[in-house]
Amino acid sequence: MADEVSVVGLGIHPFGRHEGVTGLQMAAIAARRALEDAGIRWEDVDFAAGGSDAGGNADTSVAALGLTGLPFINVKNGCATGGSALTTAHAMLTSGSAEIALVVGFDKHPPGAFNPLPEDWGIGSWYGETGLMLTTQFFAMKIQRYMAEHGISESTLAKVASKAFDNGSLNENAWRRKPLSEDEVLGSRMVNNPLTQYMFCSPGEGAVALVLARGERARQLGGRPVQLRSVAFRTRRFGSFEVFSPSIPVESAPSATTEAAAAAFELAGIGPDDVDVAQLQDTESGAEVMHLAETGLCEHGEQEHLIQSGATTIAGRLPVNTDGGCLANGEPIGASGLRQVHEVVLQLRGEAGARQVPGQCRVGFTQVYGAPGVSACTVLSV
Amino acid sequence: MLGQRDFVPVADGLIGGTAQEPELIGSVCEDCGTVTFPRQDSCPRCTSQRVSERRLGRRGTLWTWTIQCFAPKSPPYAVASAEGFEPYGVGYIELPGEVRVEARLTEHDPERLRIGMPMELTLIPAPGDSGAMTFAFRPLEEEEEN
């Protein structure tokens, strides 16, 4: 079909810490690798979208890649930046406004927790001054409530992190490549109860670029195109529990992730039961647990058994975060959403090497989540 | 009748009442009844701009909680140095029929916090050396509950 969109090129700059390399340089490196993987030149690209939170303006990478005059839209949507860039490019391709698009996400953050300013998020400065403006607090309080409501154990939180580091040890582009046992995770420093140091990802550095092509052009390029069946992006509804909320309503509503995931599956005509591999936002262990159910990949409360039984490991029934996720790769905000798609495309191509999901791997899913309640989900297939 | 304010709040329009009986200043939508904190000019639920000030209830239950175990970065935190940092509790307190409010807790021992426990609004010195007070919730002892 003419309006089908495929991922035809992958490029990544390793995640971690890279002294002396700017965010924009990492973006250009990832972009060149994606072009090479697709077997095209920068001049062939007729639309680009990209973004970072703290690494610079994506469109200035044309200075390194070449001044071809193409339209290049910068996006900035917190942790969902990569998903927003992808949404933009996908819409340009399906509308016929472009044939080949490049999306790029990158970032470079200093060590330690993020320190966003309340004024940038529509909140009074008192919120930050009094010690409430911390993403880690939100994640801890969301999983604390969730554990009480749905019977999730601390052991399960630790297993999520331990799995991430196991998978990261198989990924040459990951930052944290040393396996950690469940006991080591549980025994690490308490950060925000019930979450310990190794249950949290760290802000880091890295870049990912993807080349997308439309309809016939994707087939002409050869290689192993992976269809991007859908992209859905949502902001929060009244009643969802989101980061940076001085208050939340007593009546609850589904999260932005729940709505984005449902829309992505509906647009793709594929259900959660068909998913062979998934990449979920795992800012911390609890996020992966909750997002498993919010995306519809399992029922609320079912995670305890799923994770304890090993179902979400690479060899399990529903492999999740096979590249180590945010926990092993760190969180360069602008790059995370595209890293997820990069990993799913590798898995669907059968090119994931030591961490390749065994057996049938035809349908993949990604979900990225960010402040102050945005989520973007994709469904991909071969 | 409201008492005369006898403390300096960390921000204008956030906390009213007295040091003995502080009140959070929120808003209520005149069209759909939705309560918010802090006060907003429009309703996040129905988008109405017919919103008026409302003093929130002073008692509720702990909906969720955590302990802040590391010193927040400054800015935005009011204390620049991590030296001498003491962990503090943070939670959402459900004010029945109104809203769940995020606040600091006077308690930071995880063994003494549980979801569903009764809590009451109080004031604590705001972090830093401004001399201002901020709001917090304290666990209610059993004999105080009624």
Measured between CB atoms, does B45 come within 8 Å of chain A?
Answer: yes
Say if A226 falls within a structural domain: yes
- What one-character DSSP code corresponds to residue B8? -
Say if A118 falls within a structural domain: no
Instruction: For residue A368, give every residue at least 6 positions away whose Cβ sits within 8 Å of its Cβ, in sequence order, or none.
Output: A79, A80, A82, A83, A281, A336, A337, A340, A375, A376, A377
**Residue among A127, A144, A250 minimizing CB distance to B94:** A250
Q: Contacts of residue B98 in chain A, CB cutoff 8 Å?
A: 250
Tell me which amino acid residue A155 is. Answer: S
Give pLDDT tens digits along chain B (146 positions): 455 779 999 999 999 999 999 999 999 999 999 999 999 999 999 999 999 999 999 999 999 999 999 999 999 999 999 999 999 999 999 999 999 999 999 999 999 999 999 999 999 999 999 999 999 999 998 667 66
Tell me which amino acid residue A99 is. Answer: E
Do B76 and A118 count as a contact with CB atoms less than 8 A apart? yes
Report residue A81 as tokens: 């930046």
Say if A190 falls within a structural domain: no
- Picking from B32, B40, B64 by the largest number of A CB atoms within 10 A of its own CB, the best residue to mutate is B64
Q: pTM of the entire structure? A: 0.94
- The helix/strand/coil state of A100 is strand
CB-CB contact of B98 with B56 (8 Å): yes
Instruction: Provide the domain count of chain A.
Output: 1
Tell me which amino acid residue A350 is. Answer: G
CB-CB contact of A152 with A289 (8 Å): yes
Which of A231, A208, A209, A228 lies closest to A218, judged by CA? A228
Alpha helical stretches, state H, chain A: 23-38, 62-65, 81-94, 126-129, 135-150, 154-168, 182-187, 215-220, 256-268, 285-294, 303-308, 325-329, 333-349
Say if A342 falls within a structural domain: yes
Please give the interface size between A and B, counted as residue pairs whose CB atoms are below 8 Å apart: 124
Say if A126 falls within a structural domain: no
Rounded average pLDDT per 10-residue block, chain A, 382 residues: 87 96 96 97 97 92 92 91 94 95 95 81 94 95 98 98 98 96 97 97 95 92 91 93 93 93 98 98 97 98 98 98 97 95 98 96 96 92 97
Degrees (nearest 5) of the Cα angle A20, A76, A333? 50
Q: Kindly write down the DSSP assignment for every residue of A308-375, as one continuous string.
A: HTTTTSTTSSS-B-TT-HHHHH-B-HHHHHHHHHHHHHHHHHT--GGGPPPS---EEEEEEEETTTEE
Cα separation, A242 vs A338, in Å, equals 22
Say if A231 falls within a structural domain: yes
Cα separation, A10 vs B95, in Å, equals 50
| Preceding peptide of B76 cis, ω within 30° | yes
Report residue A258 as tokens: 């729940």
Cα separation, A185 vs A174, in Å, equals 18
Do A144 and B45 count as a contact with CB atoms less than 8 A apart? no
Question: What CATH number does the domain containing A303 carry?
Answer: 3.40.47.10
- The interface predicted TM-score (ipTM) is 0.95
Do A144 and B115 count as a contact with CB atoms less than 8 A apart? yes
Question: The domain containing residue A263 runs over which residues?
Answer: 5-111+201-381
Say if A196 falls within a structural domain: no
Say if A172 falls within a structural domain: no
